[in-house]
Amino acid sequence: MLSWKSFKDILKGKKILIGVTGGIAIYKSLGLVSSLVKEKADLKIIMTPDSQKFVSKITFASVGNCEVFTDPFDFKIEIPHTTLSRWADIIVIAPATANTMAKIANGFADNLLTMTTLAFNKWKILVPTMNVRMYENPITLENIQKLKKLGWLIVEPEVGRLACGDIGKGRYPENEKIIETIKDSFIGRKKIEGLSALVTAGPTVEWIDPVRYISNPSSGKMGYAIAKELIKRGFKVTLISGPTHLLPPEQLQEFVPVESAQQMYEETLKRFRKTNLLVMTAAVADFRPKGRKKQKIKKESLEGLNIELVRNPDILKEVSKFKENQIIVGFAAESEELLKNAKRKLSEKKLDLIVANDISRKGIGFSSDYNEVKLIHPDGKVEEIERSSKEYIAYVICDKLIDVFNAKKQLT
């Protein structure tokens, strides 16, 4: 398992060969190159002949602060295509036109980029970008499937307005998505197949009247990060989410939006018996108003206003009554006696792991991209994760969960 430093600096010093082809989206790959420079990757770039009609060689050289190669017969390095293929840890072709993909899929080697890919046997990523009708052509789709079988990772194009004005699939994706795919190639992940996971995330909202409610500052970032990480580990993931501003991770089995604690309880209980893993990251309101006012409470009525509260169901406690072979993970956000309160919840709710964090500290936890947590196991073992990104914390938690499932498998 990677340390936080290794995780966040995963691309530092990595030798990345960028291939650019002749499509209008090529200007966006300048942003990719710029971002990889910020990640301190070691870059070299190959441009096809047609790509140079859109953007000059000197532009890529300036943005990437690196060498740019265009001619297979320019022997400023010995035998360019084999030298570059040996040098690189990974090759990323962005954008990849239908023409270039067809050549690679069928073994053509008529320019420096296609010659280099033919000689390359490490990590390979393609970013298809083209007109929707070209993308949906059966020949292109067949070539993409063939490339996948040949070991190419495909970063799917987005759906939207294309350069020609058509609407459809074929847009160059966000560079953050491409960089994430590159990083994932270098991050060693334990995987497991055939299991399902249920993740809850975000806050719940309990309405007082049509404009006021009881809630909390949970952003949902931790739960969404865990759902995304579990997908990368091979789980079929259902995400039940309270209101957030986040986009659901791709490749979810099911996304279930809810608002109140009662709704989250019902949707979780409905699916719990059919899942192998429950990760309860949601910050669920403990109480709700006994009744929601149909009309807005006027400010003149607010003086001396009393709101009667009733207790919401304790979702973890209730679903654990139906536990058979499932693994259950809870979260404890505490402002005092962190370990004591977390250990009590671990025991009372029959959890297999609890993740505890101190919400009294600034700069971590609610709404932040960072957190600092303690992982507490049923045998009393406590593991501390230093202040790090929620993506890294999700990575560590999922690593531990894979170990739990593997140990469980050995006992059966």
Dihedral of CA atoms 301, 302, 308, 312 in degrees, nearest 10, equals: 120
pTM: 0.91
Residue count (the chain):
412
CATH code of residue 376: 3.40.50.10300
pLDDT given for residue 302 in this prediction = 63
pLDDT given for residue 410 in this prediction = 60
CA distances 194 to 93, 233, 400, 402, Å, are 32, 11, 18, 12
Domain assignment present for 2: no
pLDDT given for residue 306 in this prediction = 83
CA distances 374 to 95, 330, 334, Å, are 42, 12, 12
pLDDT given for residue 44 in this prediction = 98
Same domain, 170 and 235: no
Q: Which of 186, 221, 251 is the last residue of a domain?
A: 186
Same domain, 386 and 347: yes
pLDDT given for residue 301 in this prediction = 65
Q: Which of 158, 186, 214 is the last residue of a domain?
A: 186
Same domain, 363 and 392: yes
Q: Which of 63, 9, 72 is nearest to 33 (CA)?
A: 63
Domain assignment present for 247: yes
pLDDT given for residue 76 in this prediction = 79
> Are 113 and 93 contacting, i.e. CB atoms less than 8 angstroms apart?
yes
264 vs 256: CA distance, rounded Å: 9
Tally the domains of the chain.
Answer: 2
Domain assignment present for 66: yes
Per residue in 332-342, pLDDT (tens digit) is 988 888 899 99
Residue 141 belongs to what domain range? 9-186
- Which SS3 state, helix, strand or coil, does residue 81 take? helix
pLDDT given for residue 305 in this prediction = 76
N- to C-terminal Cα distance for the chain?
A: 26
- Pairing outcome for strands 15-20 and 152-154: unpaired
Same domain, 170 and 79: yes
90 vs 116: CA distance, rounded Å: 12
Q: Which of 253, 128, 96, 279 is nearest to 199 (CA)?
A: 279
- Which SS3 state, helix, strand or coil, does residue 397 take? helix
CATH code of residue 82: 3.40.50.1950
Same domain, 399 and 364: yes
Q: Which of 52, 79, 53, 54 is nearest to 68 (CA)?
A: 52
Q: Which of 132, 154, 186 is the last residue of a domain?
A: 186
The segments of the chain whose pLDDT lies below 50 read none
Same domain, 36 and 55: yes
| Torsions phi, psi for 51 (to 5 deg) | -65, -30
Same domain, 145 and 231: no
Domain assignment present for 312: yes
Give 379's contacts (C-beta < 8 A, 6+ positions apart).
none
Same domain, 53 and 75: yes
Q: Summarize the chain as % helix, strand, coil (round to 5).
A: 35, 25, 40
141, 164, 310, 382: which is the annotated catalytic residue? 164
Same domain, 69 and 181: yes
Give 59's contacts (C-beta < 8 A, 6+ positions apart).
30
Torsion-angle region of residue 194: left (phi > 0), alpha (psi -120 to 50) or beta? left
Q: Is-catalytic flag, 398?
A: no
pLDDT given for residue 365 in this prediction = 80
Same domain, 108 and 205: no
Same domain, 160 and 224: no
pLDDT given for residue 49 in this prediction = 96
> Are 353 and 332 contacting, i.e. CB atoms less than 8 angstroms apart?
no
Domain assignment present for 4: no
